[in-house]
Chains A and B, each alone.
Chain A
Amino acid sequence: MSEGILVSQPVPASGETRRLNPVVRLLGRTLTVRRGQIGLALLALAVVAAVAGPHLAPFGVDDFVGAPFQPPDGSSLFGTDNLGRDVFSRALAGGGGLLWMSAGATLIAMVFGTAIGLIAGQSRGRLDGLLMRAMDVILAFPERVLVLLCVAIAGAGGLLLMVSVGLVFMPAIARASRAVTLDVAHKEFVQYAEAIGMPRRQILMREILPNILTPLMVEAGFRLTWAMGLIAGINFLGFGVQPPTADWGMMINENRDGLLFQPWAVGLPIICIGFVIFGANLLADAVARAAARIEG
């Protein structure tokens, strides 16, 4: 095959002769770590529950099945909520939104943050300064405060929440990817590419990006965990998805008044959120360890 005859490609600094896709290699390493396996299993369970849950649920999310705050009994496994809806059915349906919203927010942050960091790091000069000062303005607040400002301007809602969390996380990714870009930009293979007159866009995409993917994946793992916490928290405050949608964060807030007589209405969503975010954090930690092993 023609691919066998390699046009002599600049060898990356790690000195590897065969270039394996860094993302594949990192994820492979991640899954050899015990906590990576546990984390992935928990997340996979949550995804399965989010997809299959609504079909397995004994009742619909909006069905009134009994009096408000009824303790668990034969008909409803975990009792009823503040309006008399089935807690178990709502908990099954309440995680899907959180999962895709945090994944979407992480994706937005990674794509735009990486692009800004790459461009800033490679151009240096005035554009670099301008982009990074813009990021400084976003970094001038606690993340949650900025998300709430977005909510105040554009109104509460799930999609908006996802976009604003993505934007709020973007500067940190931009900074991180700019830092690693600056590191890589000095290496011989980049200088070589510059010397042979490779267009800047191609240098960015073909030479620099593959070499900063590993640290970016580590960043993405932790951002996913934080996005989950942040989004669940905003939903808890009532500024995210709106009733009557079933959502774990919102369920916790709705059913707080019934803590004394029906703790399950709050306890079940707490358990769900706890395991999912713990799973994400385990996975992120495993990715970080795997990356440290590859780099070190």
Chain B
Amino acid sequence: MTMTHGASVEVTSPASSRKPALAKTLGWIGRRLVASVVVLFLVSVVVSIATQLLPSDPARIILGELATPQMLDAFRSAHGLNDPYIVRYGRWLASALTGDFGASLANGNPVAGQVFPALANSLILTVIAIIIAVPLSTLIGAAAATRARRASDQIFDYVMLALSALPEFVKGTLLVLVFATAVWRVLPAIAVIPPGASPLAYPRDIVLPIAVLVLSAVPYLSRLIRASLVEVLASEYVQMARLKGLSPSRILWRHALPNAVVPAIQGAALCMALMLGGAVVIEYLFRYPGIGALLTDAVRNRDLPMLQALIMVYAAVYMLVNLAAELLMLAVSPEMRAAGR
């Protein structure tokens, strides 16, 4: 990841690169999508092999401790659990491709019916957090960059280092300590959102989870913006604008910032990918009904079909977000295309 955008020069001549540029980009996207599908397939193979190693017996879990060996055998042959591994994997893949991931071992309900609403809930959290974090980071980064190397910039640096170092569950517990229990009691300590309801209908319950995500994204994004803004402010065209007598605020907002935000665009998309991982702990902490909470439950219950589906969904979403990050980068600076490979 380089921050010296803008400094690089298009090497190819404009005449030769103009026409096939779109075709090239589409070809690149196509290749990336194919590569992603291949990796997803490999992931599904690895995960299904890995889950074979799980020391859990679905028949025993579903039928309970009192089941006789005959009952277990009957269940296994009825559900094809005695078939060779390849056959079982093929069956799983075929139904997974139609969106059917089997039934949860923990509650017997279809996995897909639980995973996708939970995924939507998690995306609500992360998208709101990004919408808040990007402008906030821009403001903070700009404030720090214009004071570069002064005491307040130093303080900014230390605060951001501390915030980025603290794990999500520590930030979350601190917020609960301050806003929900020991100091003030202005917000709920856990999100009580009934199954099937939209989290957006419970704004008070999602304030703290979103705040933790924002606090995790802001250090990363604001340092990114600060670094690139410091560079832009030292560039020749900004010097020129100064010599022309433009006001400092006009230079900052109209001339410098639009260029400095470029790396933050990709940063924001990468942040969303990071948040998907961070949300696992945050959702557990606030008992928020998202995909991360499902994952912790599935690990705790060794709920095999659920685990398999969740891992695939995580991998797919993670890849899409990373792909989107690269596409955004491509969109804002075409010369990155060569460097990005």
Report the stretch among A58-66, A89-97, A139-147, A208-216 that lies at the interface: A139-147
Contact A270 B189 (CB under 8 A): no
27 residue pairs from A and B, CB less than 8 Å apart: A133-B42, A137-B39, A140-B39, A140-B40, A140-B318, A141-B315, A144-B277, A148-B296, A149-B311, A152-B54, A152-B298, A232-B169, A233-B168, A237-B296, A239-B299, A253-B169, A256-B176, A263-B177, A263-B182, A266-B173, A266-B177, A270-B170, A274-B162, A277-B166, A278-B165, A281-B164, A285-B161
CB-CB under 8 A from A140, the residues of chain B are 39-40, 43, 315, 318-319
Contact B318 A274 (CB under 8 A): no
- B212 at the A/B interface (Cβ < 8 Å)? no
CB-CB under 8 A from A266, the residues of chain B are 173, 177
- 8 further A-B pairs in the complex, CB-CB below 8 A; given A142-B280, A277-B165: A133-B39, A133-B42, A141-B311, A148-B296, A152-B54, A236-B281, A239-B299, A280-B165
Interface residues of B (CB under 8 A from A): 39-40, 42-43, 46-47, 50-51, 53-55, 158, 161-162, 164-170, 173-174, 176-177, 181-182, 189, 273-274, 276-278, 280-281, 284, 295-296, 298-300, 302, 307, 310-311, 314-315, 318-319
Contact B277 A236 (CB under 8 A): no
A230 and B299 alpha carbons, distance in the complex (Å): 16
Partner of A282, one of B40, B51, B161, B300: B161
Interface of B is mostly: helix
CB-CB under 8 A from A280, the residues of chain B are 165
Contact A137 B43 (CB under 8 A): yes
Contact A145 B295 (CB under 8 A): yes
Partner of A145, one of B53, B167, B173, B280: B280
CB-CB under 8 A from A149, the residues of chain B are 47, 50, 299, 307, 311
CB-CB under 8 A from B164, the residues of chain A are 281
Contact A148 B299 (CB under 8 A): yes
Number of A-B contacts (CB under 8 A): 127
Partner of A143, one of B51, B170, B277, B311: B277
Contact A145 B314 (CB under 8 A): yes
Contact A142 B277 (CB under 8 A): yes
Interface of A is mostly: helix
- A68 at the A/B interface (Cβ < 8 Å)? no
CB-CB under 8 A from A153, the residues of chain B are 50-51, 53-54
- A252 at the A/B interface (Cβ < 8 Å)? yes
Min CB–CB distance A209 → chain B (angstroms): 24
Min CB–CB distance A42 → chain B (angstroms): 11
A274 and B158 alpha carbons, distance in the complex (Å): 13
Min CB–CB distance A187 → chain B (angstroms): 20
Interface residues of A (CB under 8 A from B): 35, 133, 136-137, 140-145, 148-149, 151-155, 225, 228-230, 232-233, 236-239, 249, 252-253, 256, 259-260, 263, 266-267, 270, 273-274, 277-278, 280-282, 285
Contact B165 A225 (CB under 8 A): yes
Closest to B310 in A: A145
Min CB–CB distance B129 → chain A (angstroms): 15
CB-CB under 8 A from A230, the residues of chain B are 167
Closest to A260 in B: B181
Min CB–CB distance A234 → chain B (angstroms): 9
Min CB–CB distance A94 → chain B (angstroms): 14
CB-CB under 8 A from B167, the residues of chain A are 228-230, 232-233, 236, 273, 277
Contact B165 A281 (CB under 8 A): yes
Also in contact, A152 and B307, with CB within 8 A (given A142-B274, A270-B174, A285-B161): yes
CB-CB under 8 A from A143, the residues of chain B are 277
Min CB–CB distance B215 → chain A (angstroms): 13
A152 and B311 alpha carbons, distance in the complex (Å): 12
A282 and B274 alpha carbons, distance in the complex (Å): 21
Contact B181 A152 (CB under 8 A): no
Partner of A152, one of B174, B302, B315, B319: B302
CB-CB under 8 A from A145, the residues of chain B are 276-277, 280, 295, 310-311, 314
Contact B47 A256 (CB under 8 A): no
CB-CB under 8 A from A253, the residues of chain B are 169
Closest to B276 in A: A142
